[in-house]
Structure 1
Amino acid sequence: MSTTQELLVELARLFVELMGLLAWPVAIVIVVILLKSHIAELLGRITSLRHKGTELTFGEATDKVSEEAREVLSTVTTAKEGEKTLKARGSLQEDKFLALIPLVNTHPDMAVVQAWKYVDEQIREFPGVLQAGEKYLPTARVIGRLANQGLVPDSVIPALKELNALRNRAVHESKANISSSAAAQYVEAASDVYETLWMLS
């Protein structure tokens, strides 16, 4: 056989090997393209991630804090409705939290962070939380002062702590995969807690 023929045979053999190696990746890419809308829907439902013995669950925690927030809100609402009108109570708060709906779907982690920011701003407005000359106080200490000074009912404190912990996970844990539904639950719970705090202030 001539050198040209040997070269062509070798190139043909390499091409066949290459096709054999690329068959599965190409098939996977085709399946992903064909099923991308279904895959996106399934990924949106992920509420936990497990890696080397570490498990992160976000949805379960948002369910818990959402239920706590609803209970606290209903208790405080019943006690305070005579003092503040429902119309005044909801207008600004609803606008803030409704504006987060697009973020819930596109950037769930950002929606969580922004929802917490509103709650954090509200807890810092309570008289007596910040002392004269204090410009900043870590959130855990602010929540501690709210509890120690009796500025909010004891039932509000666990919801605040849980919302803050979930926000911290969203910000600081690189593998905290927050689904849209978990973010929506968080925003709803934060809105309920915010409303409760507003009514108490």
Structure 2
Amino acid sequence: MGVLEFILGMTNSLVWPITLVICVILMRSDISSLLRKIRRLRHKDTELDFGRELDEAMLSVSSEEASSPSLIGDDNYSELARLSPRGAIIESWLHVEKALRSYADRHGVEIDERKPFRLGRGFMQSLDYERLGKGIIETLRKLRVLRNEAVHLKDSDLGYEDAEKYRQLSSRVIESIDNI
């Protein structure tokens, strides 16, 4: 009886794990398509929500700037955004960095060449808050965070619309920086 009780106990213990593995195998294509649509990740105290943060950043830009034309890209950008939204977001950030370099040169702001636009205390204190304004600096901070999130996400986690919103927001910030 000892052997039969052992087998029965093992069977009871393994029923749910085996059932779960079989379900995952049978539904793997459905599960993978769902995972590609995830735009929000949360683990303990860390949370990434690309769409929400991008929408918040767009709202932080004033409505009068909302009508300004895009300064970044053309049809090539749109094609890049369709093929690789992540690549398009990174490309937009590079245009923002170029505008920040130009601003730094025009106003004599020293930047660390190893980490030129790390928006930490040192760089932020060297920027002229009076000229740029808290809104632009906050938007720069959000753009940087969104760029970092995009770098760590897959293209399948981002969409064309995300890249276009990021480009519009970047263009508005660049226009503001160039006009100062």
Q: Do both proteins adopt the same fold according to a TM-score greater than 0.5, normalized to the shorter chain? A: yes
Aligned-residue CA RMSD in angstroms?
Answer: 3.7
Aligned to 1:169: 149
* Alignment match of 1:146 (pick from 115, 127, 132): 127
Deviations 1:9-32 (A, max 9, x none): xxxxxxxxxxxxx9x85x658x76
Deviation (angstroms), 1:160: 0.8
CA distance, structure 2, for counterparts of residue 143 and residue 130 of structure 1: 10
Superposition TM-score, scaled by structure 2 size: 0.63
Which ranges of structure 1 fall in alignment gaps of 5 or more residues? 1-21, 78-85
Identity of aligned residues (%): 23
Contact 1:143–1:161 (8 Å) recurs in 2: no
Report whether the alignment pairs 1:65 with 2:45: no
CA distance, structure 2, for counterparts of residue 53 and residue 112 of structure 1: 26
Deviation (angstroms), 1:72: 7.1
Contact 1:49–1:175 (8 Å) recurs in 2: no
Aligned to 1:107: 84
Q: Which amino acid aligns with 2:146?
A: L
Deviations 1:108-133 (A, max 9, x none): 111111101101110111122444xx
* Alignment match of 1:118 (pick from 90, 95, 114): 95
Q: Return closer, same or farther for 1:97/1:186 CA change in 2, 3 Å cut-off.
A: farther
Corresponding residue pairs, total: 152
After superposing on structure 2, the runs of 4+ consecutive aligned residues of structure 1 that deviate more than 3 Å are: 50-55, 141-144, 173-178
Superposition TM-score, scaled by structure 1 size: 0.58
**What SS class does the counterpart of residue 144 from structure 2 fall into?**
helix
Q: Which amino acid aligns with 1:117?
A: L
